Amino acid sequence: MAKKIIGAALFIFVIFLFCYFRLKPLYFQTVGYTYDQGRDFLKAAEIIQDKNITFIGPTTGIQGLFHGAWYYYLLTIPFLIFKGAPIGFYYFNFFIQFVSFVFFAYFLHKFFGSQVSLIISLLIASSPYFIFTSIFVGNNIMVLPVFLAFLIANFYLLEKKIKKPQLLLLIIGLLLGFTTEFELAFGLFLIPVYLLITTLLKNFRSIFYAKKNFLLFLSGLFIPFIPRLLFELKNNFMQTRILWSYLMHPSGQNTRLYSQIVQERINLFYGYFTSLFVNDFLFKIFFILFILTAYFFLENKIKKYHYSVNFFLLLIIFLFFLSTLNNGGFFWGNYFEGIQYLILIILASILSFQLQTQSVILDFLKVGVLIVIFLLNLNSILKSNNSKPNAVGTLKLQTQVVNYIFQKEQQMDTYCVKVYTPPVIPHTYNYLFLYGNISKHYPLPKNDWVKRKCWYIVETDENNERRTEWLEKNIPRKAKTAHKKLFNDVEIILYELN
């Protein structure tokens, strides 16, 4: 009974840590707010307000190729719940990541033990990667809960934790399809790798290729692609032709040795692993623990969850290998968004090995690791309390800018605002002005001068030539500065024409 109480208290503390590191920046709105977020929020508003249902999602790194539309559909939920408030999208993402965290912790506790569950949960709670993905909004972030569910569903399938696998095969197909639609590049690697593994592993073959089972999987895989198919039918299979052309003739291909590409991928996967740890000291502890556990495992030849471990290892090995074959340009880290969950499940499998000998040593090491992680998290909290949140490039800063103009022009029916941002596309400010219109019925600004006056919002830009060129083109020579305000690195200037 005492162990259960202690375990419950520890897990409550882990939940507190998870929430603390994420809710603090959400409360202060010191979260990243860029061109992508503004564009996506505007699209959600367009779907709800204008009833304009899109069949395609955000752009990818390949011109003419897009992610799936499901991300936009998902954003309509927080838009409705929070009545368009931009911070609502971030709270919605936090909630999804939190539910995934609790579900994963329960899964680990059930199959890998309470110690392993606490260790992995503490890693997630304090991991720079998982903190960032809980307070940032983007189509690729939605891969995390879907890919985690995909991994767990395959565990249940391989370990025969359900009596009838048919429904699970349909779900696995759905999850694989949604992973692809949220991050197209990941799906282009994951789908062929997964199909390859289903043919290589005997226990997979016996399940997948039984009568009607494979058709159920394909049905699930097909459903997420329906909006994309409708888009393709409407646009003469534009993306299909672009993708085929890219695969056959990759653009921007650099002549590099295969050994160089392999080294780049090793560095990338090493980065995936190190992103799990709050500092280098903790990483070294886990690396030593990993080596010791692997040694004991090989010496005793004990295999727990043998089928699942083989699947997880093959999955990460084949993903790595297939990525090395892609030499047509830079390989972005978010192409394998959420692969950290795969690493954590492999790590949980290693930590859960129970040995007849040396088990006391391993238990002692696990308890020691738990203590170290707790202490490091407490230290992070103390440091966080003593530091001031940075407002530069955040939702808070841009909200202050827009609210300042609202305050100055609240008596006006019409007013002019021109915006310069480094992408030269002011989606971020456009959405904030739209939210002011939704929440407080402020009029939307015009892009043309009103009563010979116009507000200019000018952000800094490393490309000074582009910024200077825009200012010269958009500010009349006879205009004079009537008012000026500086919010960190953002200038607000009211120009007037005599």
pLDDT digits (tens, 9 = 90+) for 298-355: 555 545 777 888 899 899 999 999 999 877 667 888 999 999 999 999 888 877 765 4
Residue 138 lies in a domain: yes
Question: Does the pLDDT value for residue 411 go beyond 90?
Answer: no
Same domain membership, residue 208 and residue 76 = yes
What total number of domains does the chain contain?
A: 2
- Phi and psi of 496, rounded to 5°? -130, 150
Mean pLDDT of 33-41: 95
Q: What mean pLDDT value characterizes the chain?
A: 88
| DSSP annotation of 277 | S
Residue 440 lies in a domain: yes
Which residues touch 218 (CB under 8 Å, ≥6 apart)? 173
Same domain membership, residue 103 and residue 30 = yes
pLDDT of residue 251: 55
pLDDT of residue 357: 43
Residue 1 lies in a domain: no
Same domain membership, residue 155 and residue 181 = yes
Question: Does the pLDDT value for residue 297 go beyond 70?
Answer: no
Q: Per residue in 151-175, pLDDT tens? A: 999 999 998 888 788 899 999 999 9
pLDDT of residue 355: 46
From the list 182, 77, 100, 99, the residue with the least C-alpha distance to 138 is 182
pLDDT of residue 389: 66
Same domain membership, residue 174 and residue 33 = yes
**Alpha-carbon distance 302 to 270, whole Å?**
27
Same domain membership, residue 237 and residue 182 = yes
pLDDT of residue 333: 87
Same domain membership, residue 434 and residue 296 = no
* Residues 407 and 155: beta-carbon distance below 8 Å: no
Residue 2 lies in a domain: no
Q: Per residue in 62-117, pLDDT tens? A: 788 899 999 999 999 999 999 999 999 999 999 999 999 999 999 999 999 888 89
Same domain membership, residue 176 and residue 46 = yes
**Alpha-carbon distance 455 to 409, whole Å?**
10
Which sign, positive or negative, has the C-alpha torsion 270, 276, 281, 282? negative
Q: How many Cα neighbours within 13 Å face the side chain of 476?
A: 15
Same domain membership, residue 361 and residue 399 = no
pLDDT of residue 353: 66
Q: Per residue in 54-76, pLDDT tens? A: 999 998 877 888 999 999 999 99
Range of the domain at 421: 395-496
| Residue that terminates a domain, selected from 362, 386, 410 | 386
Residue 322 lies in a domain: yes
Residue 451 lies in a domain: yes
Same domain membership, residue 280 and residue 228 = yes
* Least confident among 181-190, 197-206, 241-250: 241-250
- Rg over alpha carbons for the chain, rounded to the nearest Å, is 26
- Phi and psi of 168, rounded to 5°? -65, -35
- Phi and psi of 446, rounded to 5°? -90, 160
CA angle at 121 for the pair 293 and 172, rounded to the nearest 5°: 90
Residue 3 lies in a domain: no
Mean pLDDT of 384-405: 82
Q: What is the pTM of this model?
A: 0.92
Same domain membership, residue 405 and residue 281 = no
CA angle at 432 for the pair 426 and 434, rounded to the nearest 5°: 100
Same domain membership, residue 405 and residue 381 = no
* Residues 494 and 483: beta-carbon distance below 8 Å: yes
- Give percent of the chain with pLDDT exceeding 70: 88
| Residue that terminates a domain, selected from 386, 411, 446 | 386
| Residue that terminates a domain, selected from 338, 369, 386 | 386
Q: Highest mean pLDDT: which of 200-214, 284-298, 474-488? A: 474-488
Residue 5 lies in a domain: no
Same domain membership, residue 251 and residue 120 = yes
Question: Does the pLDDT value for residue 388 go beyond 90?
Answer: no
Mean pLDDT of 454-483: 94
